[in-house]
Amino acid sequence: MTQLHDLDAHAQAAALRAGEVTSVELVQHHLDRIDAHAGGLGAFIAVTHERALRRAAEADARLAGGDTAPFLGVPTAFKDLTATAGVTTTMGSALLRDQVPETDAHVVTLVERAGFVSLGKTNTPEFGLSSYTDNDLIGPARTPWDTSRTAGGSSGGAAAAVAARLLPLAPGSDGGGSIRIPASACGIFGFKPTRGRVSWGPDGNDWSGLAINGPLSRTVRDSAALLDAMAVPMPGDVRHLPAPAQPFTSWVGRDPGRLRIARWSGTHLPGVEPSADAVAAWEAASRLLESLGHEIVDLANPFPRELETQFNVIWPSGVASAQLPAEAEALLRPNTRYWRHRGLESSAVDLSRALSYLEQATRSVVTGLEDFDAMLTPTLGLPPQPTSWFNESGDPVEDHRRELLFTPYTGLYNMSGQPAASLPLHWTGDELPLPVGVMLAAHQGRDDLLFALCAQVEAATPWGDRVPPIGSPTA
């Protein structure tokens, strides 16, 4: 029997419109599941029970009055890097455990304008700096496929919640893979849009061009709809993209045509190779795409090694720029201090050179890929790792080395600005199967084509019937 939490956001919205369930009932159902399962998953830093039920009651009144917001009354939650007015926003840091913003981030305004009801704040690593989710507030986020293993990061809490059916979908953010990494680790769909596709709004900024908000969901159509809600340009956007000519949801189910797809599994990092599971997932995806009529062409990884060095100048500059009193340093996690000190060691000239190199090098790569419509790689180098694996050594340098082993592919598309998605097409053969994603990317501005391709893959090999132990009908 289909349960409310098994429905995707589209189906939940349809049930609300048909009067089969009220928003209060739907929200309470998900709050009950959060109360039962979120603690074991480390999925939420804060759950806003009373606020959510109040908003749900308001949604029911609006539905009765004929309000046409497309997802009115459907639950979601915001990553705890995202400012929400009147709700604690810690950014995953004990330093900010009591921070309560007075205004919403632009993405919150847009998602709530579409009718979604937020149930709280999802777990994230301190300042979103790592590819796994752990902090000194509630600890690690865990994949519902095996709770001894990481959910990935930095949108790990959001991905764990969606995979475990605590939410139908959730917005995340991605500066080096932070949507696609946890999507792969949790066995769901995650989509990083083209650079500039989602505005940072009047209070945010996109100084490095690396990070962007995007959707995590169990179905391609839900991600397309959430991006439709978020892809609203704002005056003053530095990297302005016009509103899409057609909704991204209109591309779901559209034939993408016969595409020429470049593929590689090698990394741009010496000594870093994908696991057998990652290669098996990539090979199976290649065969599937060929069976759908696409041309698959093998290439060597076209991205240069030096990108990693220059990325590591840019990445820590944001946290290094924060004005913190000396006593606040002691409240930061060791890895945060490591990245902060690395950022402080770089000069303005170093940063300028790094930004210039990224633009020039990725422009050359993308130009060389012009004859292809899409690109296929593994999403991650490894399956989800034990939660302790990333920081058991106590050495931030070793921790960073392990992050490179885990995620050598995703950050390249943040540097180039291309849209990229992780698809849950493969599981390991272990007693507790673990999800292993594959990544499809397209050229800048072709989010629409990428949605069409991902939806075609989903239709050919549906993944919705794969339910983790937490999320199953008996859980």
Tokens 């530095």 identify what position? Answer: 238
Instruction: Please calculate the CA angle 275-422-414 and round it to the nearest 5 degrees.
Output: 95
Tokens 């399956």 identify what position? Answer: 383
What token pair was written down for 463? 């993944």
CA-wise closest residue to 248 among 74, 445, 55: 445
Q: Where are the beta strands (DSSP E) in 252-355?
A: 260-263, 295-298
Tokens 């902090």 identify what position? Answer: 135
Using CA atoms, how far apart are residues 386 and 237, in angstroms rounded to an integer? 40
CA-wise closest residue to 198 among 359, 379, 356, 417: 417
CB-based burial label for 1 (10 Å; 0-12, 13-18, 19+) = exposed
3-class secondary structure, 318:
helix
CA-wise closest residue to 130 among 356, 358, 407, 329: 407
Using CA atoms, how far apart are residues 433 and 307, in angstroms rounded to an integer? 34
Using CA atoms, how far apart are residues 321 and 312, in angstroms rounded to an integer? 15
Q: Which amino acid would we find at residue 42?
A: G
What is the bridge-based pairing of β-strands 75-79 and 189-192? unpaired
Q: CA 225, 206, 441, 373: dihedral to nearest 10 degrees? A: 100
Using CA atoms, how far apart are residues 106 and 126, in angstroms rounded to an integer? 21
CA-wise closest residue to 424 among 264, 244, 281: 281
Segment holding 414, helix H or strand E: helix 411-416
Conformational region of residue 215, where left means phi above 0, alpha means psi within -120 to 50, and beta covers everything else: beta
Catalytic residues: 79, 154, 178
3-class secondary structure, 133:
coil
Distances (CA, A) of 401 to 131, 249, 269, 397: 12, 39, 11, 6
Using CA atoms, how far apart are residues 81 and 125, in angstroms rounded to an integer? 9
Q: Are 258 and 295 in contact (CB under 8 A)?
A: yes
CA-wise closest residue to 223 among 2, 453, 461: 453
Which residues face 118 on adjacent strands?
A: 76
